[in-house]
A and B are shown apart, each in its own frame.
Chain A
Amino acid sequence: MSNSRLARVGAWMAKELYRGKSTSISRAGYVQRVRNLHLQRPFEQWSSTKFSQGPMIQKHCYLSTMTTNDTAEEGSEPKTISVTFVDKDGEENNIKVPVGMSMLEAAHHNDIELEGACEGSLACSTCHVILMDVEYYNKLEDPTDEENDMLDLAFGLTETSRLGCQVIAKPELDGIRLAIPAATRNFAVDGYVPKPH
């Protein structure tokens, strides 16, 4: 289909759309509508301060692991472990993570900027983290084929890269350190371009 035709369809569309509406509204009515459009926004949910603080993921759990952990009985094993995220600027953020929770969830609960485009459904590579100690990396189960498929597409992949959504807190991981890759640098410097979707 030629582009001029697309453009014509668009223009026609614009006219048609408006024609339907124009019979029923006056100019004043239209202006009113535009104002309302702003009022409809759920301000309370997205204040600008909250926006600037953390990733734009609402603070609800995608997984139920959090709640099941709360009811875990007290025993010899710790209920939370210590996790340190090292962000793109090298700043460290030490948090306590309940056993059973993924690092993606943990990051979002603590306003740590870790992307999670597919919300932990193993369909993207945006929660890529780098385990800073090989010893900890070796304590994890090997990545599945599906996780490896996504890691293929991660920026700045290393030997100890994992997806944050697949690293689940367990007692042996107490003290783990995770680096969030500086993606921009990789993108700009080595010009890495993943294969087309």
Chain B
Amino acid sequence: MAIFQARTRLFRSFSTLSSKPLRVCVVGSGPAGFYTAEKMLKAHQNSEIDIIDRLPVPFGLVRSGVAPDHPETKIVINQFSRVAKHERCSFFGNVTLGSSISLAELRELYHVVVLAYGAESDRSLGIPGENLKGVHSAREFVWWYNGHPDCQNLDPDLKNSNTAVILGQGNVALDVARILLRPTTELATTDIASRALAALEESSIRKVYLVGRRGPAQAACTAKELREVLGIHNLDIHILEADLLLTPADEEELKSSRIQKRVYELLSKAANTRHAHTGLDQRELHFVFFRKPDCFLESECRTGHVSGVHFEKTILKGISPGKQIATGTGQFEDIKCGMVLKSIGYKSVPVDGLPFDHQKGVVPNNKGRVLRDAKGGSTLLEEGLYVCGWLKRGPTGIIATNLYCAEETVFSISEDLEKGVLASSLPLQKPGREGLLKLLYDRNIRIVSFGDWEKIDSEERRLGSLRNKPREKLSTWEELQKAFME
């Protein structure tokens, strides 16, 4: 309780401390960025916050990550829009950290810089054949169907095979499986990119394998997503009953995790429900456990193209529950397919001048304060530099996780202000927004304001209404440019 009282005192003292504005820049306009901005605005009445994003559109993964058939999850955009319209907050899209402006320049302009730009790359498996055609990261596939301008040329081949393999069993894996298997008539009324919808309408994929290295007691998805994919119309679910057997270690794990217990129960229930769909458009979803990819197989008739995945069977080893590791058994098995989506995790990318822990894929930090040395042990801080979201804690969690993550980072900022950690820059008047705009103007970079975004937004809604969709996303750079320049 004491800490909370201290915190209240802290915030109060700051709101009256100084009339000089505290210039804050948040890099990235996804959930981590917007929650950080919201918490900063509340905690510091003298703060002036600029949110920059490399895309001309805000909201990060709420727009380009959340599945099109999850409109309720995107309602949080209302809250973020109110933050963006707050009198002490601004959004500047089309500004790329690292090319439009360097981190060093940003830190010159602002008292506080919070990096919340997430994880825009992918972990790789590092096995042979990973570069074959038809092997994509799930991120690219998601960006493609969600109308992200960087993946509109992905053009996944959905017509040359009836089988797709998805590596991984987390929620992203379930999302892409659902998009591949769900009747397109149901997707047609979502905000799915029209390019993707057209390709899915012609898709010949009828069989999807969701492959995990560990067992059903360790599946990384949530019950909501699993329930949804299991409930797809005309879909047969295949789960080997032998895979559902639990070891004592598994039972321990399930006992200690409500979510894994519920996921396991759903899988067992699905395994025992034999539905014999015989419709013309019958589809199959196979949950495959205890397999790790060994290499990708190249097609004999289509050079350079994937034709399957070579898997090694695994067993779980490890003494403590929750830390069981899948190890190979030396037995192998192939699954033939025409497309592979790797859903094994996102990866953050550092920018120049940013300490980065390549092993963990995060910026070394102490509760959001960026530490100078990527190697452990160092407690030297990068003054005025903070992180939030995936860049801070790795690519896991739901939207709400960022709320708590932002609270922690903002609390660290408040504490540092109180303790005088930012003493060397605080007394200085920083140019903040004015300086940023001047610099970008000098570099011929056309910023996209929140007002510009609202123009794009209304154009998207207008286009969507013509097709009975909530919105038709402008998904190429050209389309976006045209919309806000008008």
Q: Which residues of A contact B (CB under 8 A)?
A: 1, 3, 6-7, 9-11, 13-22, 27, 30, 34, 37-38, 40-43, 45-48, 51-52, 56-58, 88-90, 115, 117-119, 121-126, 145-146, 148-150, 152-153, 155, 157, 182-184, 186-188, 193-197
B367 touches A188 (CB 8 A): yes
Say yes or no: A126-B400 contact (C-beta < 8 A), given A27-B441, A148-B223: yes
A183 touches B404 (CB 8 A): yes
| 18 CB-based A-B contacts, threshold 8 Å | A6-B150, A15-B444, A20-B481, A27-B441, A38-B90, A52-B45, A119-B75, A125-B398, A126-B400, A184-B407, A194-B396, A194-B397, A194-B400, A194-B401, A195-B259, A195-B396, A196-B397, A197-B172
Say yes or no: A7-B98 contact (C-beta < 8 A), given A195-B170, A195-B222, A197-B397: yes
A196 touches B220 (CB 8 A): yes
CA distance A71 to B403 in the complex (A): 38
Using Cβ atoms and an 8 Å threshold, which residues of chain A touch B431?
A: none
Contact of B396 among A43, A58, A186, A193 (CB under 8 A): A193
Say yes or no: A10-B403 contact (C-beta < 8 A), given A48-B87, A157-B258: no
B75 touches A43 (CB 8 A): no
A184 touches B411 (CB 8 A): yes
A123 touches B75 (CB 8 A): yes
Q: Which of A14, A30, A123, A197 has the most CB of B within 10 A?
A: A197
B408 touches A188 (CB 8 A): yes
Say yes or no: A14-B444 contact (C-beta < 8 A), given A7-B98, A48-B88, A115-B403: yes
List 16 other contacts, CB 8 Å, given A41-B85, A152-B222: A17-B56, A30-B441, A51-B86, A56-B38, A89-B5, A117-B403, A119-B78, A123-B75, A152-B223, A155-B400, A187-B405, A195-B170, A195-B220, A195-B222, A196-B396, A197-B222
CA distance A42 to B447 in the complex (A): 20
A17 touches B481 (CB 8 A): yes
B150 touches A1 (CB 8 A): yes
Task: Write the chain A residue with the least CB distance to B478.
Answer: A16
Top 7 closest A-B pairs, CB basis?
A: A123-B72, A149-B224, A121-B72, A187-B404, A17-B446, A18-B444, A117-B76
The contact size tier of chain B is 35 or more
B72 touches A40 (CB 8 A): no
CA distance A197 to B408 in the complex (A): 21
B222 touches A193 (CB 8 A): no
CA distance A41 to B313 in the complex (A): 59
Using Cβ atoms and an 8 Å threshold, which residues of chain B touch A15?
A: 444
CA distance A34 to B438 in the complex (A): 10
B96 touches A124 (CB 8 A): no
CA distance A173 to B177 in the complex (A): 43
A117 touches B399 (CB 8 A): yes
Q: Is B83 an interface residue (CB 8 A)?
A: yes
Contact of B87 among A46, A57, A193 (CB under 8 A): A46
Q: Is B42 an interface residue (CB 8 A)?
A: yes
Task: Write the chain B residue with the least CB distance to A62.
Answer: B75
CA distance A186 to B222 in the complex (A): 20
